[in-house]
Amino acid sequence: MSDGAPASRVVIITGGSRGIGRATAIAAAKRGWRVVIGYVNNDAAARDTVAAIEASNGKALAVKCDVGSEADILALFKAADGFGPLGALVNNAGIVGQTERVENLGAERIERIMRINVTGSFLCAREAVKRMSAKHGGKGGVIVNLSSVAATLGSPNTYVDYAASKGAIDTLTVGLSQEVAAEGIRVVGIRPGLIDTDIHASGGDPDRHHRLSKTVPMQRVGTADEIANAIVWLMSDEASYVTGTTMNVSGGR
């Protein structure tokens, strides 16, 4: 069953209950990873993701963890420590705000986006490095950061604050990868394009991705599975010489 996953090693996927995180959890379990998913509110979705993995004889654990809270992140990693040695982190949890121009953005909203999308990813990466780095006695591993093509397009008239948070993620990938490359850890990123998940509804525009699909060179939105497939490949030994880079998975957008 293992396809590139170090035997019995754990992957932590933040925001693993729905959307891209859920698809990644299921794909990683199929490749032999023991999966720990974080989620923030939706107990039923988290239970359902764990059940889907267990139904295929995979191992999974769901832990309520708001990545906007350092205490929650510490508790997530502690719970994962009890599940097996950490081999990978997928920094997937991320939010958008309602569609707005920059002139209408308040400090509270911007700080919330940055706390969840940026600070949360930094703190999770910190905890993963402490466990996986050879410098700390670890056996190495992989960190996959979820960016967005928004980081390069800027999301004008929509959510420039979100796009900027993903620009910060791209920089985290470059800088951290160089800090830990000689310690057995690869740090890589994915920039999804328009993907069919609930995130667009949470930004108050459920049809956004379908409406914009004709602007995609491939003329369609992507699926969560198409992002998950790229993530689990980056986590695998097939990507053993890949670090410090972020890959667009966006149909050419």
Q: How many Å apart are CA 122 and CA 138, to the nearest integer?
A: 19
Contact region with ligand NAP (CB under 6 A), list: 3-11, 40-48, 51-59, 81-89: 40-48
Applying CB under 6 A, does 145 fall inside the site for ligand NAP?
Answer: no
Signed CA dihedral, 41, 38, 123, 120: sign only: negative
Identity of the residue, 6 or 86, whose beta carbon is nearer to ligand NAP in the bound complex? 86
Identity of the residue, 12 or 93, whose beta carbon is nearer to ligand NAP in the bound complex? 93
Identity of the residue, 26 or 65, whose beta carbon is nearer to ligand NAP in the bound complex? 65
How many Cβ atoms from other residues are within 10 Å of residue 107's Cβ? 7
CB of 215 to ligand NAP, least distance (A): 13
Applying CB under 6 A, does 173 fall inside the site for ligand NAP?
Answer: no
Q: How many Å apart are CA 88 and CA 249, to the nearest integer?
A: 20
Applying CB under 6 A, does 17 fall inside the site for ligand NAP?
Answer: yes
Q: Which 199-218 residues touch ligand NAP, going by CB under 6 A?
A: 199, 202, 209
User: Among 112, 115, 246, 106, which Cα is nearest to 189's?
Assistant: 246
Is 39 catalytic? The answer is no
Applying CB under 6 A, does 92 fall inside the site for ligand NAP?
Answer: yes
Strand order across the 34-39 sheet: 60-64, 34-39, 10-13, 86-91, 141-146, 185-192, 246-249
SS3 content of the chain, % helix, strand, coil (to 5): 50, 15, 35
Identity of the residue, 133 or 190, whose beta carbon is nearer to ligand NAP in the bound complex? 190
Interface residue with ligand NAP, options 133, 155, 197, 246 (CB under 6 A): 197
Interface residue with ligand NAP, options 146, 164, 172, 188 (CB under 6 A): 146
User: Among 206, 243, 211, 249, which Cα is nearest to 229's?
Assistant: 249
- DSSP H helices, 66-183, are 70-81, 107-114, 120-132, 150-153, 160-180
Applying CB under 6 A, does 223 fall inside the site for ligand NAP?
Answer: no
Applying CB under 6 A, does 38 fall inside the site for ligand NAP?
Answer: yes
User: Among 224, 165, 227, 202, which Cα is nearest to 41's?
Assistant: 202
Applying CB under 6 A, does 2 fall inside the site for ligand NAP?
Answer: no
Q: Which 57-76 residues touch ligand NAP, going by CB under 6 A?
A: 65-68
* Amino acid code (one letter) for 58: G
Applying CB under 6 A, does 42 fall inside the site for ligand NAP?
Answer: yes
Applying CB under 6 A, does 95 fall inside the site for ligand NAP?
Answer: yes
Contact region with ligand NAP (CB under 6 A), list: 86-94, 125-133, 173-181, 232-240: 86-94
Q: How many degrees, rounded to 5, is the angle at CA 4 between CA 144 and CA 176?
A: 25
Q: How many Å apart are CA 173 and CA 113, to the nearest integer?
A: 18
Q: Which residues are catalytic?
A: 162
Binding-site ranges for ligand NAP (CB under 6 A): 14-15, 17-21, 38-42, 45, 65-68, 92-95, 116, 146, 148, 192, 194-195, 197-199, 202, 209
